[in-house]
A and B are shown apart, each in its own frame.
Chain A
């Protein structure tokens, strides 16, 4: 028996004061002399109201690390509390400084209450120490708002000491992220709780006696609500990172239908990030939004063989446009995030003059973001997502080719196998002297390969994971190689603009020159590391892993397609 609180529903569900409910349902109760089994008197009934907000990042980083963070209205201000999620034991404690109790709860005063918190908004202290490393650059957003209103009636003993408290309350639950999107149904729920018995520490016996008395008189015990049941009431699934969702795929299912599902999953991703992109809650929303667009575009290209007709090609162009819209903002986000790290090795004087660039980047980012937000709000952008979903759901047969009927594991394997062999061939041909374009070609192919393997992962045995890992090793090298190049171009352009707009003196060009040198060196480093990384990627063992998984179904696909074309 959980002795902290118990819930009961009385036979009649009259509302009104607890005292009158009690008197009506149990005439003997609440009257110290009335009933030997109920030797307590009703104290003074009071009203109460409380507000709580549960915070987490959009991808539930705290929840997944085993923590719950709530802010509670208390006194005239707010308090925040961090405690382990029931059933979880949070990993990160205080950095291993001191042995901690398994259950640790932290409470602290919160001087101001905000709609969302970035790591730097959190007041220093034990709570911030624990959650800053977990959330990184993600903002903490309100995931659940809870308004509680009710009445409380103490039961007192002969010395007027409270021994049990009865509570009747109504809870209003709200999902603020959905509620913000206005048209979303189910963003709010009001729940009438059963009557709660709350124990007073050290007075567990009276609690048990009251509970027994209620049961004898026909009152039913009820489950008490939990945070999880509250999330469920709002159809929220805490812990689900929308961007890391793995689609379950039947390997024998037709490729056309599965590919539509893949597109729908990516579209769900995009839509779930859209509010965050528009509001600029944190930079990861735009990042995830763009990743979903890139994956969509890449798969659209790779799976071109499944679809026919001009509509499909129009969608491809439109997504290209959508990706382009969001590019400049993301570029500046990245430069801004990276600048601090790049600066680290430079002389102090150079760092100081790069401070001007940093401020310019921030302003420029705000500017291009406004433009992006306007474009994302246009009819064209809104319609694109809507039309794409309609098209995917309609599953119009006339717009599919015969290949769409071939099992997905075969079609996906055919594409993967083809690109994989292309990467091997081109990669082997590269020498330290070959032009940079060659490296870029391999990089782009690796990306296609990665997206295919990730999105169709469910169609293959679990060993596909080690293939993805091998590929990732090579991609890290190629990605860095590319980033250093792109960042050089962007930094140069931004610095020139800053000078032109008088946001920085010409001095800045010298500082940026130093920065570019560093980036160029690092790019060269990656260039030199390529040969080694590629050798690792293409060892006999690793080649065998890919062959075992993809060659046979790829050949099957060829045969199936030939047969279909002949028929």
Chain B
């Protein structure tokens, strides 16, 4: 099983939209995909019309000696399952705190699922916390949606610095441009700057589109209600690129990764 967290320190950058749409693409390619909604807001669960079975699941999920199995619910799409969130997840940090090895905890509870799914996607809440530390420990890669602004570049730089001394088991970092609006000159400039390979961005960008925003109305992935639209095609491309990067990483041939220094330079150049 390959595992991937859609993560960003910054909120509202398109993490949930990415997680839901990519999981859908993966399942439509024939993979068995599990999406774990780790955000107490439960936006992912909402998009997929799924409600957590039992209230207070967060604590019980992590504490039970049994596995996560019994909390998993199928989405409306073949091969696409979900571990829904509920509001109790806001205490997840505390729950982890109580366990012996908080950082390893998530990886540990996920272990039994590795033979049931080909891909595990985590939709994370923004912020750096004990939960996100556990996520970094558990996954092969972080997919980082980055809005093409100087501010977003700065948070990416912060993340890279934070991960610098992570040591063994450090996830691969795969940033990509999210909510790109070509008519905005700053967006265009950032897009040009990160297109240089040393920036380590995936080449696919997800455009800003009303069709993506409409996910809340349809409560389903974009491709399910508009399979031939541009954004749906972008998510398919993003999956393919991500799959190549993650499988190459698993074979020990990780692609060029972003470096905090390079991002800082781009950031500085844009400010002048």
Q: Are A103 and B115 interface neighbours, CB within 8 A?
A: yes
Report the stretch among A104-112, A140-148, A173-181, A529-537 that lies at the interface.
A104-112
Q: A125-B247, A201-B81 are in contact. Are A159 and B72 (CB under 8 A)?
A: no
Q: Are A79 and B29 interface neighbours, CB within 8 A?
A: yes
Q: Are B50 and A109 interface neighbours, CB within 8 A?
A: no
Q: Is A160 an interface residue when CB atoms closer than 8 A count as contact?
A: yes
Q: Is B30 an interface residue when CB atoms closer than 8 A count as contact?
A: yes
Q: Are A74 and B28 interface neighbours, CB within 8 A?
A: yes
Q: Are B30 and A201 interface neighbours, CB within 8 A?
A: no
Chain A residues 67-87 with CB under 8 Å of chain B are 72, 74-75, 77, 79, 81
A283-322: CB near B (< 8 Å → 1, else 0) gives: 0000000000000000000000000000000000000000
Q: Is A407 an interface residue when CB atoms closer than 8 A count as contact?
A: no
Q: Is B74 an interface residue when CB atoms closer than 8 A count as contact?
A: yes
Q: How many B residues touch the partner, as a band? A: 20 to 34
Q: Is A121 an interface residue when CB atoms closer than 8 A count as contact?
A: no
Q: How far is the CA of A161 from the CA of B76 in the complex (A)?
A: 7
- Quick one: closest B residue to A198, CB to CB? B78
Number of residue pairs spanning A and B whose beta carbons lie under 8 angstroms apart: 54
Q: A75-B28, A75-B29, A107-B30 are in contact. Are A203 and B73 (CB under 8 A)?
A: yes
Q: Are B74 and A202 interface neighbours, CB within 8 A?
A: yes
Question: Which B residues touch A159, using CB under 8 A?
Answer: 49, 51
Partner of A161, one of B25, B50, B114, B118: B50
Q: How many A residues touch the partner, as a band? A: 20 to 34
Partner of B31, one of A107, A160, A161, A202: A107
Interface SS, B side = loop
Question: Which A residues touch B29, using CB under 8 A?
Answer: 74-75, 77, 79, 109
Q: Is A200 an interface residue when CB atoms closer than 8 A count as contact?
A: yes
A202-214: CB near B (< 8 Å → 1, else 0) gives: 1100000000000
Q: Is A434 an interface residue when CB atoms closer than 8 A count as contact?
A: no
Q: Are B28 and A201 interface neighbours, CB within 8 A?
A: no
- Quick one: closest B residue to A159, CB to CB? B49
Q: Are A75 and B74 interface neighbours, CB within 8 A?
A: no
A91-114: CB near B (< 8 Å → 1, else 0) gives: 000000000110111010100000
Q: Is A162 an interface residue when CB atoms closer than 8 A count as contact?
A: yes
Min Cβ gap A280→B in Å is: 31
Q: How far is the CA of A154 from the CA of B74 in the complex (A)?
A: 13
Q: How far is the CA of A100 from the CA of B1 in the complex (A)?
A: 12
Q: How far is the CA of A100 from the CA of B28 in the complex (A)?
A: 27
Q: Is A124 an interface residue when CB atoms closer than 8 A count as contact?
A: yes
- Quick one: closest A residue to B50, CB to CB? A161
Partner of B114, one of A79, A101, A202: A101
Chain A residues 126-165 with CB under 8 Å of chain B are 154, 159-162
14 contacts between A and B (CB under 8 A): A75-B28, A75-B29, A105-B32, A107-B31, A107-B32, A107-B118, A109-B29, A159-B49, A160-B219, A161-B49, A200-B76, A202-B53, A202-B72, A203-B73
B interface, CB within 8 angstroms of A: 25, 28-32, 49-51, 53, 72-74, 76, 81, 114-115, 118, 219, 236, 243, 247, 251
Q: A159-B51, A160-B219 are in contact. List 17 more A-B contacts (CB 8 A).
A: A74-B29, A75-B28, A75-B30, A75-B236, A77-B29, A79-B29, A79-B30, A81-B30, A101-B115, A105-B32, A107-B30, A107-B31, A107-B118, A125-B247, A201-B81, A202-B74, A203-B74
